[in-house]
Amino acid sequence: MSKKIFGFFNKQKQFEKDVLENNMQYSSFYGDSFKQLKKNKIAMFCAGIIIILILIAIFAPLIAPYDPTYQDYSAVLAEPSMAHPFGTDEYGRDILSRIIYGSRVSISIGIVAQVVASLVGVTLGSIAGYYGGKIDSVISRIMEIFQAFPDLIFAMAIMTFMGKGVVNLFIALGLLTWVRTARMIRGSVMQLKEKEYIEASRASGATTYWIIMKGLIPNCLSTIIVLVTLGIPNAIMYEASLSFLGIGIVPPTPSWGNMISAAQTFINYRPLYSIMPGVAIMITVIAFNIFGDGLRDALDPKLKN
């Protein structure tokens, strides 16, 4: 069979071997994107902050100077000092230690909630978008039901229904955000599936799985990444809001949200107590946002030099 091609090939001008070998280093899509990302200094700086935050969360027991639940009644609402850099709270607990431990809750909730939301959202969104018709109608109606409730009230309802706790918070925030991912992916898939390169794959005999995995998802990737990286700070904010309202993380466990909630009583007397958890939230949210933007730019081949 191949003979007919090679017959023609032999007639063609042969390309020089050395040119070939010099110009054909292996490069993958993600390798190229990473190179591109490395050129973006601000994004790399934010990536550094994110890595530091994650390390702080993992090694919290080694870094924190005190146990976050240790109550020192000789130093209630202490001023910032060498012993307590940000002071202490109304039970005499070290605020710095509580912020360090609070990063565990915030970051894990942000990431886990987004991973759950993306898995569910991408799967359901691409199925709805690709198949269309009745499957799409069913999934879209479910999404509309979820979207019919105001976000915070919906999360509050789930938390009240299931009870407080970290795992329930994962579920609540996952349920809250998967719809957004699914909607975006559904839209992109509906648009992408009409493209001729998808038709070309089908003309070569590709299965639906192949088309979704090789044709559609890679082209939705920048959308997914933007959604995830913008979703993580969002989830962190929701966690803070819910904890602030007293239905997220239950007090002895430190979280940035419930710290701000507790601190509001003392905001005039000990401003650092409420400012520092807020600064922690702000740094995390900004770092994820800027890093997400940089990642999106790097993953878009059209922006490549």
**Among 79, 199, 213, 265, interactor with another protein by CB under 8 A:** 199
* Residue 153 or 203 with smaller CB distance to another protein: 203
* 141 scored as a contact of another protein (CB under 8 A): no
39 vs 304 by CB, closer to another protein: 304
CA distance 132 to 212: 14
Q: Which residues ranging from 12 to 51 are in contact with another protein (CB under 8 A)?
A: 12-15, 19-20, 23-27, 29
**How many residues bind to another protein according to rule CB under 8 A?**
42
Residue 197 to residue 187: CA distance in whole angstroms = 18
d(CA 110, CA 208): 32
Q: Number of C-alpha atoms within 13 angstroms, CB side, residue 3?
A: 1
Task: Write out the binding residues for another protein, residues 218-247 only, by CB under 8 A.
Answer: 218-219, 221
CA distance 220 to 226: 10
Cα separation, 133 vs 31, whole angstroms:
38
Q: What are phi and psi of 141, to 5 degrees?
A: -65, -40
Give the shortest CB-206-to-another protein separation in angstroms: 5
Q: Which two tokens stand for residue 273?
A: 């107590």
Closest distance to another protein from the beta carbon of 211 (Å): 10
Binding mask 179-198 for another protein (x = CB under 8 A): ----------------xxx-
Tokens of 243: 């904890």
> Toward another protein, which CB reaches closer, 45 or 131?
131
- How far is CA 13 from each of CA 9, 16, 109, rounded to the nearest angstrom? 8, 9, 60
Q: Does 144 contact another protein by CB under 8 A?
A: no
Task: Decide whether 168 or 201 has the Cβ nearer to another protein.
Answer: 201
Residues within the interface to another protein (CB under 8 A): 1-2, 4-9, 11-15, 19-20, 23-27, 29, 195-197, 199-207, 210, 214-215, 218-219, 221, 301-302, 304
